[in-house]
């Protein structure tokens, strides 16, 4: 299959940022593709959703965190070819949210300083995002 034949999959992700300038990452649970890797909360944009709505829904489902569109700022995006699809993933940052993140899906979660993100194995699409967080924070 040439690269052009792969479907482009739109995934929206969010870096939650705490008062100390740390970023929340979550470890993908066993059984999923790329299990064990650390990633930004988020998921596939479903039909009829905006990426912002996806982020709000995923934060609620995965972490019991509430936020609003006005609290989401676009930072950068990932565009990465995987084996079976091409990932297009806007990354939002969110400093204003309600509730303490709780791992609802059995995933490990961790607040990490941007300079330490490289110590956590992340999906290959995520590596180019880290410098943007380092610059921001």
Q: Strands, E, within 1-137: which ranges? A: 8-16, 23-27, 38-39, 42-44, 73-81, 86-94, 109-112
* Site for ligand 8GT, residues 41 to 70, rule: CB under 6 A: 42-44
Region binding ligand 8GT by CB under 6 A among candidate stretches 45-53, 92-100, 108-116, 119-127: 119-127
Region binding ligand 8GT by CB under 6 A among candidate stretches 39-47, 67-75, 102-110, 113-121: 39-47
C-alpha span between 11 and 89 (Å, rounded): 5
- Residue 32 is a binding residue for ligand 8GT (CB under 6 A): yes
- Residue 116 is a binding residue for ligand 8GT (CB under 6 A): no
Q: Which residues are near ligand 8GT by CB under 6 A?
A: 11, 13, 32-34, 39-40, 42-44, 87, 123, 125-126
């Amino acid at each position: 299959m040439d690269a052009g034949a792969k479907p482009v999959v739109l995934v929206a992700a969010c870096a939650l940022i705490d008062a100390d300038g740390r970023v929340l990452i979550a470890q993908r649970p066993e059984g999923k593709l790329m299990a064990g890797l650390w990633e930004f909360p988020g998921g596939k944009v479903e039909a009829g959703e905006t990426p912002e709505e996806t982020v709000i829904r995923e934060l609620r489902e995965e972490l019991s965190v509430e936020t609003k569109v006005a609290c989401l700022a676009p930072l950068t995006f990932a565009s990465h070819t995987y084996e079976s699809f091409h990932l297009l993933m806007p990354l939002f940052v969110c400093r204003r949210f309600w509730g303490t993140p709780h791992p609802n899906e059995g995933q490990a979660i961790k607040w990490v300083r941007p300079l330490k993100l490289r110590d956590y194995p992340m999906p290959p699409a995520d590596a180019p995002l880290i410098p943007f967080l380092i610059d921001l924070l």
